[in-house]
Amino acid sequence: MSSRSFRRSALLGAGLAAALAVGAGAVALQSGGSGGAPRLTVADPYIPLPATPGGMGAGYLTVRNAGGADTLVSVSSPAAGSVTMHRSTDSSMEQVEAMDVPAGGTLDLSRGGAHLMIMNWTEQPSLGDELELDLQFAKAGRVVVRVPVKPLTYRPGS
């Protein structure tokens, strides 16, 4: 699945930065520099169909960053009353307040690791639904992603 969402202003910012860099001969904003604007894309988002209809759900996705460092600070959805960020550990899981999106790197939310926990659905999700997740980044701002509901055991590429 290809990238689904761009932060337009982030791209504009990067373009502007590139233009400035060319104009001024500056090198401070070269790719991957932590001081540069983040350039984020979201790949392979999915929500496995909850095992209990309308029950506790998870969300997975990959944030790719071709620019400077950013941070995912919150996630919300018109489809659910609560979306929180968690990380599974060997015997439990812990809520995290923010997740790093490193410069030139990725933030990977995948099974058994970092994930979104989705509760209090406004409507019971069904296979084939596309639900909106609103990702709020510290620098890039809000990124809206359309996320398909997949079978319980789905994995990207399968």
Partner 1 sequence: MASLHRPRPRLLTAAALVLGASLALSACSSAGGGGESTGAAKVSKKASTSQYQGTVLSKNFDKPDLVLDDTSGQPYDLRAKTAGKTVLLFFGYTSCPDVCPTTMGDIGVAMSKLTAEQREKLAIVFVSTDPERDTPQVLRTWLDSMGKDFIGLTGDLSKVKTAAKPLGILVEDPVVDAKGAVTSTHGAQVLAFMPGDDKAHLLYMAGTSIDVYKHDLELMANGVAV
CA dihedral sign of residues 23, 27, 28, 31: positive
CB of 102 to partner 1, least distance (A): 7
CB of 143 to partner 1, least distance (A): 17
CB of 12 to partner 1, least distance (A): 27
- Cβ atoms of 125 and 87 within 8 Å: the answer is no
Q: Exposure of 64 by Cβ count < 10 A (0-12 exposed, 13-18 middle, 19+ buried)? A: middle
Instruction: For partner 1, give the closer residue by CB, 15 or 151.
Output: 151
- Cβ atoms of 47 and 147 within 8 Å: the answer is yes
Instruction: For partner 1, give the closer residue by CB, 54 or 78.
Output: 54
Interacting residues toward partner 1 by CB under 8 A: 48-53, 55-58, 71, 82, 84, 86-100, 102, 105, 107-108, 111-115, 117-119, 152-153
Instruction: For partner 1, give the closer residue by CB, 2 or 92.
Output: 92
CB of 131 to partner 1, least distance (A): 15
Instruction: For partner 1, give the closer residue by CB, 21 or 62.
Output: 62
Beta strands per DSSP E along 1-157: 5-6, 40-48, 57-65, 70-76, 80-88, 93-95, 99-101, 106-109, 114-121, 130-137, 141-150
